[in-house]
Amino acid sequence: MKNLKFSSKGWFLLATILILSACSEPASKTDNDLEAFVDEMYANVDSKQSPGTAVVVVKDGKVILNKGYGMANLSHDIAITPTTVFDLASVSKQFCAYAISTLVEEGKVSLDEDVRKYIPELPDFGKTITIDHLVHHTSGVRDWTSTLPVAGWDFHDVISFEQILRMAFNQRALNYEPGAEYSYSNTGYNLLAEIVQRVEGVSFREWTEANIFDPLDMDQTMFLDDHTETIPNRAQGYRQSSGTYSATPNNLMALGSSSMYSTTTDLSKWVMHLMDPGNKQPVVDRMFTKGILNDGSEITYAFGLSVTDYQDAPWISHSGSWASFRTYLCILPESGYGIVVLNNHGRNTNQMARTIADYLLGVNDEEEQDEESSSESVEVAATIMNKLTGVYKLGPGWYVEITLDNDQLWTQATNEDKFPMNALSDSVFQIPAYSNRTMTFHQDDVGATTGLTYAGSFRPKLDLSSSKPFNPKDYVGTYESAELYTTYEVIAEGDQLVMKHFRHGTVELSRAQGEDFTGSRWFLGSVEFSRNENGYVDSFYVTTNRARRQLFSLMK
């Protein structure tokens, strides 16, 4: 099912089919059976010594399970219940998307409008960013979760909505041309929340309460815009180390993308609203509309929801992760189920929801087969394999070297071991150590290898013929970012480069390839130095998956 967009008539037909199916099928699992199954799932956390989970399951507009397991607060001996309030993290996005869809339906905004019509402070990047781009994560706007750490923020710090907007307004470049790619950006949803505020003339919190939460009687739900506010029944997030639980600080106010608090009881009302929205049907239909890239290809991300298939049926969902909270919400429209799993200790709520869904749908795990299986190898001449050897760039700070040894092709990625490859053809090689994934090599008209395809993406082969010998002194200096108002000092300690930052302290750099280095902190995934026309290093770019090529220039 490629595009899930239900009309009122479609929902009525679906409901009729479900009713007829229920009447014709023999009695299956009872609510008591489901409760016993879920109780067993969470038996290991259902104690006064462990954080835990809240679960709600809806079937055809009726709550059939709503329970809590484990503790909401270990310090004060407070158990998790159906009225425990959790930080929803990115599950919040669908509510922001609902707000935008509502404004579209009311004719107050248009999806194809330039975002700068409403937020002129956002820089003119030379390409128009539309509201639709923000909704579907195709804007190219850098994600604050990857930019603010580079600037010195720690995720335990106070991170306000205003700080995030200031970061966005001070950017000088995008990750890519708007509409060219899909790349998850929390910043995009913060900008959407700001659009709601500017169009409606009230705070985002006030608008969502008046237009979503109050009408649905979600009286324990809110977007947090003051990190010092007391929230009754609020769960504490916990991380575990060496068997001991520690409280995780949580001072985030990222309106639109995150920072929404709710309970399983309230979210059951939201799930039922999505499945039977009444006069809001056009608003909800729009939320199930997937994004389209510039090349016409469709992505699975819709309006704050992912629309995919599972067990040959539509699966509409979103996950969240922040400050040790893991959250997941999904609806299965063809079977009439909705499932919400919230926890405060970092367990995989996605898999938990699927386990519950499999039980409800009668799926036998033993019938599941691994799609990627080993294939029969063929013999390839060493002269052909020799053309495939070389270094290929897989991503920021991530390279793979293909070598030939005793008529055997080998692969070795950055900071990984060396593994043999099995030839399936002259150009396709399988890697048993990587769950039998394959690399497909490409050549030009004269037979020179240009790159390889791995995990669905083309990776270029590097020309290392002009590489300079590594001299640590070439990189020494202090570099500043005009976008992030921060500096890093690069120092040579023997053959080792290190970076020093006022807040982060010392960060070690490991040479990945050429002048591309990986930092010992996750947000410095790639630190790639650049030389000027005279051959001197004068800048470097920091790249992570969600924030590419953040420029730092050598201070004079």
Q: In this predicted model, what pLDDT tens digit does every residue of 227-275 receive, in sequence order?
A: 999 999 999 999 998 889 999 999 999 999 999 999 999 999 999 999 9
Alpha helices in 209-263 (DSSP H): none
Mean per-residue pLDDT, 464-492: 92
Q: Band of the pLDDT at 32, cuts 50, 70, 90?
A: confident
Q: Tell the residue number behind the tokens 């800048």, with chain if given.
A: 539
Rounded to 5 degrees, φ, ψ at 502 are -55, -40
In the sheet that holds 390-395, the strands lie side by side as 390-395, 398-405, 408-413, 418-420
- Asked whether the predicted pLDDT for residue 366 surpasses 80, the reply is no
Which residue shows structure tokens 């237009």? 211
Short-list 174, 195, 317, 199, CA closest to 255: 195
**What is the phi/psi pair of residue 351, to 5°?**
-65, -35
- Token code pair at residue 359: 């039980």
Architecture of domain 382-460: Beta Barrel (2.40)
Instruction: Kindly indicate the confidence band of residue 375, based on its pLDDT and cuts at 50, 70 and 90.
Output: low
CA angle 226, 228, 232 (to 5 degrees): 95
The more confidently predicted of residues 445 and 21 is 445
DSSP labels, 102-171: HHHHTTS--TTSBGGGT-TTS---SSPPBHHHHHTT-S-PPPHHHHHHHHT--TTS-B-HHHHHHHHHT-
pLDDT at residue 388 above 60? yes
Q: Which segments of the chain belong to CATH 2.40.128.50?
A: 382-460, 472-554
The kind and range of the H/E element at 339 are strand 337-343
pLDDT 10s digits, 192-213 = 999 999 999 999 999 999 999 9
Q: Give the whole-angstrom CA distance, residue 12 versus residue 281.
A: 12
The rounded distance, in Å, linking the Cα atoms of 509 and 531 is 18
| Predicted pLDDT of residue 1 | 36
The secondary structure of 432-482 as a DSSP string is GGGTTEEEEEEE-TTS-EEEEEETTEEEEBP--TTPPPP-GGGG-EEEEET
Q: How many CB atoms lie within 10 A of CB 542?
A: 25
Q: Where in the chain is the domain with CATH 3.40.710.10?
A: 8-234+244-363
Least confident of 41-45, 165-169, 290-294: 41-45
Q: Residues 354, 359, 362, 364: is their CA dihedral positive or negative? A: positive
pLDDT band at 506 (very low <50, low <70, confident <90, very high): very high
More confident residue, 392 or 397: 392
* Number of separate helices (H) and strands (E) present in the chain: 12, 30
pLDDT tens profile 429-455:
999 988 889 999 999 988 999 999 998
- Can you give the pTM of this predicted structure? 0.86
Q: What integer pLDDT is reported at residue 243 of this predicted model?
A: 81
Phi and psi at 279, nearest 5°, equal: -75, 0
Categorize the per-residue pLDDT at 406 as very low, low, confident or very high, splitting at 50, 70 and 90.
confident
pLDDT for residue 6: 44
Higher-scoring residue by pLDDT: 20, 204: 204
Tokens of 211: 């237009």
pLDDT greater than 60 at residue 467: yes
What is the rounded radius of gyration, in angstroms, for the C-alpha atoms of the chain?
A: 26
Q: What is the pLDDT of residues 522-532, one digit of tens each?
A: 999 999 999 99
**Spatial strand order in the sheet of 449-454:** 422-423, 428-431, 437-443, 449-454, 457-460
| Terminal Cα-to-Cα distance of the chain (whole angstroms) | 58
Among 520, 538, 521, 528, residue whose Cα is nearest residue 478: 538
Mean pLDDT of 171-197: 97
Please give the CATH topology (third level) of the domain spanning 8-234+244-363. Answer: Beta-lactamase (3.40.710)
Asked if pLDDT for residue 9 goes beyond 50, the answer is no
Q: Which CATH class is domain 472-554?
A: mainly beta
* Cβ atoms 400, 462 nearer than 8 A: no
What is the pLDDT at residue 374?
53
Measure the CA angle with vertex 358, ends 86 and 344; round to 5°. 15
pLDDT more than 70, % of the chain: 93
